[in-house]
Amino acid sequence: MTKQPSFREIRYNEKRQRILENAARLFAQKGYENVSLEQIAARLKLNKASLYYYFKSKDEMFFLIQMQAIEQANAALEQVLESEADPKEKLREAIKSHVRIATRDYITGTFRQMELVLPRKLMVRVIAARDQFEKNFQKIILEGVEKGVFHRQYWKLAVMSILGTLNAIPRWYSPRGELSAEQIGEALAGFILKGLSVDE
Amino acid sequence: MTKQPSFREIRYNEKRQRILENAARLFAQKGYENVSLEQIAARLKLNKASLYYYFKSKDEMFFLIQMQAIEQANAALEQVLESEADPKEKLREAIKSHVRIATRDYITGTFRQMELVLPRKLMVRVIAARDQFEKNFQKIILEGVEKGVFHRQYWKLAVMSILGTLNAIPRWYSPRGELSAEQIGEALAGFILKGLSVDE
């Protein structure tokens, strides 16, 4: 049986999350390399020492932000995979829910800087989570291939094309742009589904 | 009238290009940060001092490699734009010729590390060349939109999706993979064109 978190733990976790999101915004604005722990603390009106109560290092913060973003994306995909929808609907939902996550302000900046070098021990965990993301997308497409809804030939290439499209969103998305995240998700899903589907 | 390059100049330029391509391969193998000028010189059986006869710094080399890759891509797109082909053929050719360039060994590694921070003065020139690449693709799509061949709605999003797909190629392409660059180009073009085209 999982122990209920105490009120103290809940508060600790909420505070930790708030620090993370603020750090993520700072990393996005100024670039990871240019942000010091002092600046993160100042933004939150904390002193640097109390930051260490929550995090061991800036690398740990950046690692956790990346992991959260990928894990949210994976959770969304897994929910889609478990649903009863048909393959086309699953793919549409997968794309739309991913766009929703990828366009959240603090996550946009995170995804944009994914290639930064983390210490190898942390990087392998990020890469493992990203591989899982790729596999989840493959499963969705493969289900459609097996049901004869999506083209079998070059289906892996289609997956890479979809991932390329989705991973690039944080590079060009702006919350001040003409299109909402919903519109972007809907339009990309339409475009991708049309490219991939066997004509009826 | 442009002066004919002398034999000495031709030799200088060929040597310079050979150094660049070898440096690019080293950067791709070991990561830019981990390669020293000494290692580049050693690989070419030169001493470090004679490298300076060709390049001012490692940054300059990396900058030139990036610029060459983008300029080759732009030249290919401009050739396509100037051709007499119809919009679908232009887009197919644009995608295929880009895949051909992006899968060349020393360029693959370069595109993979594009996000590395160059000194700002050099970075703005890389970004300008990449903007030109984006504009060239927009022109191709827009021509098709205006001729009623491609969907008008969300056409800019289609451009971003295509660029996302193409820019991701160096992340997953392997010369030891099942598909040749030609097959990849042909398949991606098929997929993209189907997604984008107004049904006949």
Low pLDDT (below 70) residues in chain B: 1-2, 108-117, 200
Tell me, what DSSP letter sits at residue A4? P
Tokens of A71: 């894990």
For chain B positions 4-33, those within 8 Å of chain A (CB to CB) are 31, 33
Name which of B154, B167, B179 to mutate to probe chain A: the one with the most chain A Cβ atoms within 10 A of its Cβ: B154
Torsion of CA A32, B134, B109, A136, to 10 degrees: 70
CA-to-CA distance for B136 and B80, rounded, in angstroms?
10
pLDDT digit string, tens, across residues A120-174: 888 889 889 989 999 999 999 999 999 999 999 999 999 999 999 998 888 888 8
Q: What angle do CA A83, A184, A67 make, to 5 degrees?
A: 60
Name which of B30, B134, B161, B193 to mutate to probe chain A: the one with the most chain A Cβ atoms within 10 A of its Cβ: B161
Query: Amino acid identity of A3?
Result: K
Distance from CA of B84 to the nearest CA of A (A): 26
* Mean pLDDT of the residues in chain B: 89
The pTM (predicted TM-score) of the whole model is 0.85
Nearest residue on chain B to A193, alpha-carbon basis: B195
Backbone region of residue B103 per phi and psi (left: phi > 0; alpha: psi in -120 to 50; beta: other values): alpha
Tokens of B9: 């100049």
Contacts of A167 in chain B (CB under 8 A): 164, 168
pLDDT digit string, tens, across residues A41-79: 999 999 889 899 999 999 899 899 888 888 999 999 999
User: What number of other Cβ atoms are within 10 A of residue B140's Cβ?
Assistant: 21
Nearest to A163 among B157, B163, B168 (CB): B168
For this complex, say whether ipTM is above 0.90.
no
